Amino acid sequence: MYDLELFYKKYQKDGFVFPIQVIDLKNAKQCRIKLEDVEKKIGTLHYKAKVHTILTWVYKLATHNNILDLVEKILGPNILLHNATFIIKEANTPSHVSWHQDLTYWGFSHDDQVSVWLALSPANELSGAMQMIPESHTFGMIEHNTTKDKNNVLLQGQTVERVNEKNAILCPLLPGEASFHHGWTLHTSKPNRSSDRRIGLNFQYLSTHVKQTKHDNDSAICVRGIDQYNSFKIDQPATRDLDPIAIEKFIILDKQYKNTAGS
């Protein structure tokens, strides 16, 4: 287990920490197999929100102590899981993620948030691993431009211009390893030029006092501690994989998430 004090010190200084081993390589490979079996049944899950409401093993990963112990060090004892989503770059494709900050369009009242990106296949320079700018989380919100780029994974193609890329740090991960980053940390990822899929599972955690400022219908689930605020509707974690009723709700939740981020 990663030393909590060392982790927190590095996170506070740089705005990100990697690599953190969450699960072993064998478990990561099994998760990838499960994902690709699901894709054969219902199609791609790339950038679909709230997948923990339809897949039990995703919720199990989202609540893994190897993640939550570190999230608690950052956010405190009361933690909400707001979202779980796969971010997949197919082999030898031009898909990329422009320089951006996660919190720009989410509408949260506070920045007590942390993103955890768990690799289920190798993320390296060839496959388009994330790059981050150390200490950029201290800048606060930076102006983003909305762009039209069909190959940009982001919903609005939101882009921070004129980033000093010489300061960027590549964050390679082996399957089963994760990176943790602050919502104001500037980050990007280049296209996948490898012959394998680059598969990441991204979790978004919030402190329980955070609220959604855009509307009253956002949802989350308390995964550690107590939610004294009850500002979100409560997501129901999957009790069995691909339950038909859960899938119907999942489609609605995914649409709502995208509408929120796109407004």
- Tell me: pLDDT of 157 over 60: no
| Max CA separation in the chain (angstroms) | 49
Residue 249, phi-psi category: left (phi > 0), alpha (psi -120 to 50), beta (remainder):
alpha
Amino acid symbol at 228:
Q
pLDDT digits (tens, 9 = 90+) for 200-252: 999 999 999 999 999 999 999 999 999 999 999 999 999 999 999 999 999 99
Provide the residue ranges of all domains of the chain, joining segments of one domain with +. Answer: 4-262
pLDDT digits (tens, 9 = 90+) for 119-152: 999 999 999 999 999 999 998 776 666 666 666 5
Using CA atoms, how far residue 221 sits from 26, 84, 101, 240, in Å, is 28, 11, 23, 17
Count of helix runs (H) and strand runs (E) in the chain: 5, 11
Domain 4-262, CATH number (from 3.10.450.50, 2.60.120.620, 2.160.10.10, 1.10.10.1100): 2.60.120.620
* Mean pLDDT estimate for the chain: 92
Report which secondary-structure segment, H or E, holds 137. none
